[in-house]
Amino acid sequence: MTRTSTPAAPTAQGADKARLRDAATVLLVRRAPAGPSVLMGMRGAGAAFMPSKYVFPGGAVDPGDASVPLAAPLAATCAARLAQGAAAGLAPALAVAAVRELWEETGLMLGERGAWPGMIPPDWTEFAASGYLPSAAPLTFVFRAITPPGRPRRFDARFFLADADRVLGDPDDFSKACDELSHLHWVPISEARRLNLPFITEVVLAEVAALLTTGSAAITPPDSVPFFDNSGERSEFRRLT
């Protein structure tokens, strides 16, 4: 799987924060004749990870994500690529995390009508009350990046592309969003570089811009997925096929 470097004599709390965590991020895209836009928000100035930066909705996989039912699975190609070098069952958990983080940080839902089997996890109570189950069908795996060593937080992040047409309800209604991201708005991809962006966000935007064409058909898995691997002492770039 991945390799991590451990600081000398860390405290238990410090070691937990610095450990490499699986994470999922969603690039929700709205296409128009003038060109595609992507949903972004700004992290707080006091955030330990990427403070005051504009980012896509996303976050770490929670332990309970693996047990959350999906109304529809990921495309087989995406699931196979996500499974490379990963723990068994991680692919669906990443998809659940992506839908959950989008829901929590923006109030927007990716799901299908369905009844939840068994008990509903606390994080999903309001989502389930709407009569929907999370769906991985709208998600396309397009990018992977591991945070370099030495950062206060480290993630093995998988980036998913999704069409805003798959959102349930109004894609401009952020009234149910938590306060983790501020200034949520649709940013034309051609103008996104004017914002205060993390380096990896710029790289992902460039990759996604190359995948999208105005008026194109539904989003489909790319021929390969870029992977910035910073799990070791030396950075590596390769593609997942």
4-52 residue pLDDT tens:
333 333 344 444 666 889 999 999 999 888 889 999 999 755 555 556 6
Beta-carbon count within 10 A of 182 CB:
13
Asked if residue 47 is part of any domain, the answer here is: yes
Asked if residue 141 is part of any domain, the answer here is: yes
Contact present, 171 and 30 (Cβ < 8 Å): yes
Asked if residue 8 is part of any domain, the answer here is: no
Q: H/E element holding 26?
A: strand 20-30
Residue 60 to residue 179: CA distance in whole angstroms? 17
* Chain-centroid distance, C-alpha 69: 18
Contact present, 117 and 198 (Cβ < 8 Å): no
Res 97: pLDDT: 98
Residue 22 to residue 14: CA distance in whole angstroms? 17
Asked if residue 11 is part of any domain, the answer here is: no
**Between β-strands 132-134 and 140-146, what pairing exists: parallel, antiparallel or unpaired?**
unpaired
Which residue numbers in the chain have pLDDT < 50?
1-15
Res 193: pLDDT: 87
Res 52: pLDDT: 66
SS3 152: coil
Residue 53 to residue 40: CA distance in whole angstroms? 10
Contact present, 43 and 50 (Cβ < 8 Å): yes
Res 219: pLDDT: 87
Residue 82 to residue 95: CA distance in whole angstroms? 10
Residue 131 to residue 144: CA distance in whole angstroms? 32
**Between β-strands 20-30 and 37-43, what pairing exists: parallel, antiparallel or unpaired?**
antiparallel
Res 43: pLDDT: 77
Residue 28 to residue 108: CA distance in whole angstroms? 10
Tally the residues of the chain: 241
Asked if residue 208 is part of any domain, the answer here is: yes
Structural domain including 105 reads 19-240
170: buried, middle or exposed (CB in 10 Å: 19+, 13-18, 0-12)?
exposed
Asked if residue 9 is part of any domain, the answer here is: no
Asked if residue 12 is part of any domain, the answer here is: no
Domains in the chain, number: 1
Residue 71 belongs to domain with CATH number: 3.90.79.10
Asked if residue 6 is part of any domain, the answer here is: no
Instruction: Give the tokens for residue 62.
Output: 């929670």
